[in-house]
Amino acid sequence: MDTFRSFKDLKDKLFSSELTCVDIVESYIQNIKDNDSCNAFVETFDKSALHQAKIVDQEISEKKYRKLSGMIIAIKDNICYKNHKVSASSLILKDFTSLYSSTAVDRLIKEGAIIIGRLNCDEFAMGSSNENSVYGAVKNPFDKSRVAGGSSGGSAAAVAQGLCIAALGSDTGGSIRQPAAFCGVVGFKPTYSRVSRHGLIAYASSFDQIGPIANNIDDVAIILEVISGVDKQDSTSSSRPVPDYLNYREKKKNSRIAYISECIEHHGIDNEIKNSFLAEMDKFKKKGHTVDPVSFPYLEHLVPAYHVLSTAEASSNLSRFDGVNFGYRSAKQTDLNQSYISSRTEGFGDEVKRRIMLGTFVLSAGYHEAYFTKAQKIRRLIKSKVNEMFDSYDFICTPTTPHTAFKLGDNKTDPTQMYLEDIFTVLANLSGNPAISIPVKNHSSKLPFGFQIMARNFDEEGLLSFSKNNNFKI
Ligand code: GLN
């Protein structure tokens, strides 16, 4: 059986009874076992996936169809699924079994989706290359000597390779969009609070969002529709009604589009990406949209502000992993304090330790004002500037990344360089706005890259509609 590139193709076979859901699930599981050459999957959930498949088959025989009946979805290894392992790709949580399901997973299952397995990621979602994983790096499906991007590298690589129809990732500073760009698939970060964070292993709670990665806009839209909405388990989740994302809003003819000139003039940007991006802007103009270059004066402050704030939150969120309540406990336990120290020293990888220390430092008594408070002020300025831009424009566009996927190992010894990889994506997390990365595949290296579009808060509908109606060659 061939793998499907869209849920529609799968549904055609399933709903016409050409294939059963059990057939499909068995063949996907076998395919993952045989062909995961990028190291995307940590584990397949054979038993529960087949159990769900039987339920779907039964329902289809009774002509009961749900929104996601039979959709093969895999989840990033930081999203909880009851009675299944979840480790944030960290030694400290290896072999930890979740006691409850995340709201996002619960909602997918209620609509008939099949959760096929869990996907490799950077440890605790900290990274831009998926090299910080206890399971080893995820490789890029287009060139195995290159990174898949991070932190949801497994999610993007699995979708690109057809090992699942779609995947859930999480995005704190670009972790859905950047790997999606590097692997040539669509990645969507919802507005902060649109999707419940309940059951997502927290990295930086005021930034984290769960979102879909898929091969096309329709699949992203239907998943988003299912997982969005208020949840009493997450007090920050928004109570705004969830629109019918799949059917998009009526096509709005002319949009007002801003692109950030500092991104396009950035010294690190690849020339072909720049030219392709500008050509897209020209096409928009020809279609009747208004397109203007707009200055965003805080570009150089984005990554520093993001790292001060996110590490501060991480240092608090990760304090619960102490070798007592969860997962790994060191054998060196002379007393309680020593047990905490050894378990955390042995259990966390270098990048996670670096961020915990940085976060603890920026929150410490003598430095709080100089770093944490200052970064919060910068975040406020950034949000105001973004809101001001959305007074005049419907969408803000940039490339998703300055260049295509880099070589495995290239940035590993230089954290500052690695952090700068996120220069175009962290904006949407600092401001909270929804953003999509749409794949572009015209680079002479044959490596894909991404076209990023940000929209007003809660205008997921407009963003999907614009992405769908502007004939991107996906
Ligand atoms: N690459 C970014 C980082 O290293 C973003 C991570 C994320 O979005 N989870 O923090």
**260 C-alpha to center of ligand 1: Å?**
21
Per the structure, the complete domain to which residue 127 belongs is given by 1-474
CA nearest neighbour of 464 among 284, 229, 225, 278 = 225
Structure confidence at residue 166 (pLDDT): 98
Measured from the CB, is residue 209 less than 6 Å from ligand 1?
no
Residue with structure tokens 């955390």? 344
Q: How far is residue 38's CA from residue 138's CA, in Å, rounded to a whole number?
A: 5
Q: Beta strand 41-44 with 139-140: parallel, antiparallel or unpaired?
A: unpaired
Over its length of 474 residues, how does the chain's per-residue pLDDT go in tens digits? 778 999 999 999 999 999 999 999 999 999 999 999 999 999 999 999 999 999 999 999 999 999 999 999 999 999 999 999 999 999 999 889 999 999 999 999 999 999 999 999 999 999 999 999 999 999 999 999 999 999 999 999 999 999 999 999 999 999 999 999 999 999 999 999 999 999 999 999 999 999 999 999 999 999 999 999 999 999 999 999 999 998 876 666 799 999 999 999 999 999 999 999 999 999 999 999 999 999 999 999 999 999 999 999 999 999 999 998 877 999 988 899 999 999 999 999 999 999 999 999 999 999 999 999 999 999 999 999 999 999 999 999 999 999 999 999 999 889 998 998 999 999 999 999 999 999 999 999 999 999 999 999 999 999 999 998 876 654
Consecutive H or E run containing 332:
none
* Nearest CA residue ID for atom 5, ligand 1: 173
Cβ atoms of 303 and 420 within 8 Å: the answer is yes
- pTM score: 0.97
First to last CA, the chain: 24
Residues 6+ apart with CB under 8 A from 78: 86, 88, 89, 121, 124, 125, 170, 200, 201, 203
| Angle, alpha carbons 284-290-296 (nearest 5°) | 100
Measured from the CB, is residue 185 less than 6 Å from ligand 1?
no
Among 89, 122, 205, 313, which residue has the most ligand 1 atoms within 8 Å of its CB, making it the best to mutate?
Answer: 122
* Nearest CA residue ID for atom 4, ligand 1: 127
CA nearest neighbour of 425 among 434, 416, 413, 417 = 434
Q: Residue 274 is part of a domain; what is its CATH number?
A: 3.90.1300.10
Structure confidence at residue 250 (pLDDT): 61
CA nearest neighbour of 186 among 147, 160, 154, 224 = 160
The closest-lying atom of ligand 1 relative to the alpha carbon of residue 128 is: 1
Measured from the CB, is residue 149 less than 6 Å from ligand 1?
no
Query: If you compute the radius of gyration of the chain from its CA atoms, what whole number of angstroms results?
Result: 21
Q: Which two tokens stand for residue 103?
A: 């709201």
Cβ atoms of 59 and 69 within 8 Å: the answer is yes
Structure confidence at residue 473 (pLDDT): 59
**204 C-alpha to center of ligand 1: Å?**
10
Cβ atoms of 126 and 314 within 8 Å: the answer is yes
CA nearest neighbour of 134 among 277, 347, 315 = 347
* Nearest CA residue ID for atom 3, ligand 1: 127
Q: Which of 48, 69, 76, 437 is catalytic?
A: 76
Hey, what amino acid is at 468?
K
Cβ atoms of 461 and 243 within 8 Å: the answer is yes
DSSP classification of residue 182: H
CA nearest neighbour of 107 among 6, 194, 9, 20 = 194
Measured from the CB, is residue 203 less than 6 Å from ligand 1?
yes
Total domains present in the chain = 1
**Is 316 marked active-site?**
no
Measured from the CB, is residue 187 less than 6 Å from ligand 1?
no
CA nearest neighbour of 427 among 259, 272, 291, 229 = 259
Cis upstream peptide for 152 (omega within 30°):
no
Q: How far is residue 398's CA from residue 425's CA, in Å, rounded to a whole number?
A: 9
Residue with structure tokens 């038993």? 47
DSSP 89-107: T-GGGTT-B-SS--HHHHH
Q: Beta strand 209-214 with 166-171: parallel, antiparallel or unpaired?
A: antiparallel
Cβ atoms of 268 and 224 within 8 Å: the answer is no
Among 76, 128, 303, which residue has the most ligand 1 atoms within 8 Å of its CB, making it the best to mutate?
Answer: 128
Strand partners, 407: 146
Q: How far is residue 401's CA from residue 416's CA, in Å, rounded to a whole number?
A: 16
**Is 151 marked active-site?**
yes
Q: How many residues are there in the chain? A: 474
Helix ranges (DSSP H) in 62-184: 103-110, 153-160, 177-183
Structure confidence at residue 251 (pLDDT): 64
Burial 79-99 (b: 16+ CB within 10 A, else e): bbbbebbbbbbbbbbbebebe
Angle between helices 46-61 and 7-15 (to 10 degrees): 60
Structure confidence at residue 121 (pLDDT): 98
112: left (phi over 0), alpha (psi -120 to 50) or beta: left
**Is 144 marked active-site?**
no
* Total Cβ atoms within 10 A of residue 62: 8
CA nearest neighbour of 430 among 195, 129, 204, 201 = 204
Q: How far is residue 240's CA from residue 33's CA, in Å, rounded to a whole number?
A: 41
The closest-lying atom of ligand 1 relative to the alpha carbon of residue 176 is: 8
Q: How far is residue 175's CA from residue 217's CA, in Å, rounded to a whole number?
A: 18
